[in-house]
């Protein structure tokens, strides 16, 4: 080999060695390498500090490599468990497909009901058992504007109408400009805007824009109307039908009509007067009977005294005032009975 050929061979070998040593490394690879080096350094420092504190250096875990590679013995039952997992995943996929189909079917039915369309297979009874009032829902959507899926994207900025409501928009809950009752303009979410009544009158017919004096005047007029109605209705009487309890034996239920009630009271007063008169007559008869018995007893006592010789025939036994009164009354009654004609009642 000549000197020239030897120099050419050495030059080509050096050029090939230089070409083989050139490695193109990107910036991300360098950063990853630095990060890995930093983590290894941190791990080494942490283990070193732990060994310094405890005095024990943990041994490194030696990874055992199977000699036979693929012929290594596997755990018992792994294949069966894998097969069961595959079957369960297949069943879950089938259930997921069925659930998705059911949800899509329910969504279609919901949209039909929301639009007021007739759903196939649903009768009037099934429609009445629904938990959502779709008629009211459609009315609310008409009051608030178009629903979100039918909103006009060309509306741009939303503004509040005279009723405090805003039209629809593509966003679920957009920011709108709202003017409150004090004239203050602010930006609020559409769902946070309070609903105002459609008219300046409340549900009971009273106007909402009223001062405190007007409210007091209305309350006074209402109170006067109620008092006049009570006065025209007449006196308030007790109604036993509104009280559930056991009444006494002498309880009497008066009528609600005033004329009939007055007639019942007159009848009761008449019965009371008759009862009072009869009670007085019975009392007089009882007193008269008691006087007669006393006079009879006195007469028997006097006869017994004469028979025993304790009383002279011409001697009169002392008689007290009550006995004398009873005797005089008895004599008067006997005389009255004698003087009474036989055909008298």
Q: Mark which of 111, 132, 153 sits at the end of a domain.
A: 132
**How high is the pLDDT of residue 152?**
44
Lowest mean pLDDT of 175-184, 220-229, 294-303, 325-334, name the range: 325-334
Give residue 185's domain range.
133-192
**Dihedral of the alpha carbons of 238, 242, 247, 253, in degrees to the nearest 10:** 50
Q: Is residue 124 part of a domain?
A: yes
- For residue 12, tell me if it sits in a domain: no
pLDDT: is 224 or 256 the higher one? Answer: 224
Whether residues 147 and 121 fall in one domain: no
Question: Helices 321-339 & 258-307, crossing angle to 10 degrees?
Answer: 110
In a domain, 210, yes or no: no
26 conformational bin, left if phi > 0, alpha if psi -120 to 50, beta if neither: beta
Mean pLDDT, the chain, whole residue set: 72
Count of domains in the chain? 3
Where does residue 208 rank: exposed (0-12), middle (13-18), buried (19+ CB within 10 A)? exposed
Q: What is d(CA 76, CA 82) in angstroms, rounded to the nearest whole number?
A: 12
In a domain, 179, yes or no: yes
Say whether both 272 and 328 belong to one domain. Answer: yes
Q: In the chain, what percentage of residues exceed pLDDT 90?
A: 10
From the list 114, 170, 121, 119, the residue with the least C-alpha distance to 142 is 114
Q: Is residue 216 part of a domain?
A: no
Residues in contact with 50: Cβ distance below 8 Å, sequence separation at least 6, in sequence order = 58
Q: Which of 175, 192, 209 is the last residue of a domain?
A: 192
Residues 128 and 186 in one domain: no
Q: Rounded CA gap, 219 and 261, in Å?
A: 35
Q: Which residues pair with 175 in a beta bridge?
A: 189
For residues 329 and 288, state if they share a domain: yes
What pLDDT shows up at residue 244?
Answer: 83
Residue 284 shares a structural domain with residue 298: yes
Based on the fold, state whether residues 327 and 274 are members of the same structural domain: yes
Beta strand 175-179 pairing with 185-189: antiparallel
Highest mean pLDDT among 57-71, 81-95, 118-132: 81-95
Residues 327 and 263 in one domain: yes
Quick one: 158 and 186 in the same domain?
A: yes
Q: Give the least confident one: 40-44, 167-171, 218-222, 243-247.
A: 167-171
The pLDDT-based confidence of 282 (bands split at 50, 70, 90) is very high
The widest CA-to-CA distance across the chain, in whole angstroms, is 212
Is residue 260 scored above 60 in pLDDT? yes
Distance CA 312, CA 291 (A): 26
Average pLDDT over residues 136-147: 64
pTM across the whole model: 0.27
Cα–Cα distance for residue pair 38/45, rounded to 1 Å = 11
User: 3-state DSSP call for residue 330?
Assistant: helix
Is 52 within a domain?
no
SS3 state at 46: helix
Residue 314 has pLDDT above 60, yes or no: no
Check pLDDT > 70 for residue 48.
Answer: yes
Asked if 262 and 305 sit in the same domain, the reply is yes
Task: Kindly state the percentage of the chain with pLDDT values over 70.
Answer: 61
Residue 167 has pLDDT above 50, yes or no: no
Whether residue 245 is predicted with pLDDT greater than 90 in this model: the reply is no
- Would you call 298 exposed, middle or buried from its count of C-beta atoms within 10 A (0-12, 13-18, 19+)? middle
- Please indicate, yes or no, whether residues 110 and 89 belong to a single structural domain of this protein: yes
In this structure, the answer to whether residues 262 and 303 fall within a common structural domain is yes
Closest among 165, 169, 126 to 146, alpha carbons compared: 169
Q: Tell me: do 101 and 149 sit in the same domain.
A: no
Residue-level pLDDT at 257: 84
How remote is the C-alpha of 223 from its chain's centroid? 32
pLDDT for 112 equals 81
Let me know if residue 39 belongs to a domain. no
The pLDDT assigned to 280 comes to 92
Would residue 221 count as lying in a domain?
no
pLDDT winner (highest mean) among 78-87, 160-169, 217-226: 217-226
**Radius of gyration in angstroms for the set of CA atoms belonging to the chain, rounded to a whole number:** 60
**Cα separation of 326 and 290, whole Å?**
8
End position of a domain, from candidates 165, 192, 219: 192
Q: 258 or 27: which carries more pLDDT confidence?
A: 258
| 26 has pLDDT over 80 | no
Q: What is the pLDDT of residue 344?
A: 41
* 3-state secondary structure at position 70: helix
């Amino acid at each position: 080999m000549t000197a020239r050929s030897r120099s050419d061979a050495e030059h080509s070998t050096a050029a090939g060695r230089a070409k083989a040593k050139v490695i193109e490394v990107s910036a991300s690879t360098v950063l990853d390498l630095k990060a890995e080096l930093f983590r290894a350094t941190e791990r080494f420092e942490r283990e070193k500090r732990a060994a310094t504190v405890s005095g024990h250096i943990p041994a490194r875990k030696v990874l055992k490599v199977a000699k036979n590679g693929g012929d290594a013995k596997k755990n018992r039952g792994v294949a069966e468990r894998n097969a069961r997992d595959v079957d369960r995943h297949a069943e879950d996929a089938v259930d997921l497909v069925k659930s998705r189909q059911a949800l899509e079917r329910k969504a279609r039915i919901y949209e039909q009901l929301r639009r007021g369309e007739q759903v196939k297979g649903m009768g009037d009874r099934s429609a009445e058992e629904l938990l959502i009032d779709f008629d009211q829902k459609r009315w609310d959507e008409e009051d608030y504007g178009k629903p979100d899926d039918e909103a006009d994207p060309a509306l741009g900025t939303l503004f509040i109408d005279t009723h405090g409501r805003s039209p629809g928009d593509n966003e679920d809950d957009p920011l709108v400009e709202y003017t409150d009752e004090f004239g203050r303009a602010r930006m609020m979410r559409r769902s946070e805007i309070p609903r105002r009544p459609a008219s300046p009158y409340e549900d009971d017919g009273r106007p909402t824009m009223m001062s405190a004096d007007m409210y007091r005047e209305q309350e006074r007029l209402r109170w006067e109307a109620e008092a006049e109605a009570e006065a025209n209705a007449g006196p308030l009487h007790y109604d036993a039908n509104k009280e559930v309890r056991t009444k006494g034996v002498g309880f009497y239920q008066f009528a609600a009509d005033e004329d009939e009630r007055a007639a019942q009271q007159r009848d009761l007063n008449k019965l009371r007067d008759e009862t009072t008169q009869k009670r007085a007559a019975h009392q007089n008869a009882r007193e008269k009977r008691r006087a007669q018995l006393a006079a009879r007893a006195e007469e028997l006592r006097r006869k017994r005294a004469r028979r025993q010789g304790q009383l002279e025939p011409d001697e009169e036994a002392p008689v007290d005032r009550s006995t004398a009164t009873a005797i005089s009354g008895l004599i008067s009654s006997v005389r009255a009975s004698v003087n009474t004609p036989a055909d008298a009642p």
